[in-house]
Amino acid sequence: MSDAHLTDHEWRLKQAAEGKAIYSPGKTDEQVKAEMKAYRTPRARRLSVSDEELTAILTAADGVSTHFWQAAKTFEFLACVTEEGAISDDHGLGAVLFLLGVAFRSLDETDGKPLGQLRFKIEDETADSKEDAA
């Protein structure tokens, strides 16, 4: 279908909706480019965390990578032995997967807690800095 019938504004909106362009009605190219450059420019952020929080965050971050690696190896092992017919659900595969899920939930409640708190602090700081910029 031809775009010849579209107005300039409609064509730009269509291009933006398709992800082919960025269009901000009422702004010049220079204004949009300046905003994008400012958005991409790294800015220093300050987060206030106690020594105790920092220790928990670092410990959790270290533990998470180890736990995900171990989980990946476990699932790889289960996939391999199931594919080769060495075990089937009759041998308790469902129970093993259930226990893996319980273990992940437990890790989320322990290691996940400080990382979740860090996420909220970062989101708060980001929201505060956006309000300051406005």
Domain coordinates in residue numbering, the chain: 8-40, 51-133
Look at residue 1 and tell me whether its pLDDT is greater than 60: no
pLDDT number for residue 134: 55
Look at residue 51 and tell me whether its pLDDT is greater than 90: yes
Gyration radius from the chain CA atoms = 25
Give the model confidence (pLDDT) of 54-88 as tens digits.
Answer: 898 888 888 888 888 888 888 888 888 888 888 77
Give the model confidence (pLDDT) of 3-44 as tens digits.
Answer: 778 888 888 888 888 888 777 778 887 888 888 888 888 877
pLDDT number for residue 130: 62
- Look at the block and give the residue holding tokens 């259930």: 98
pTM of the model: 0.47
Contact 47, 125 (CB under 8 A): yes
Look at residue 113 and tell me whether its pLDDT is greater than 80: yes
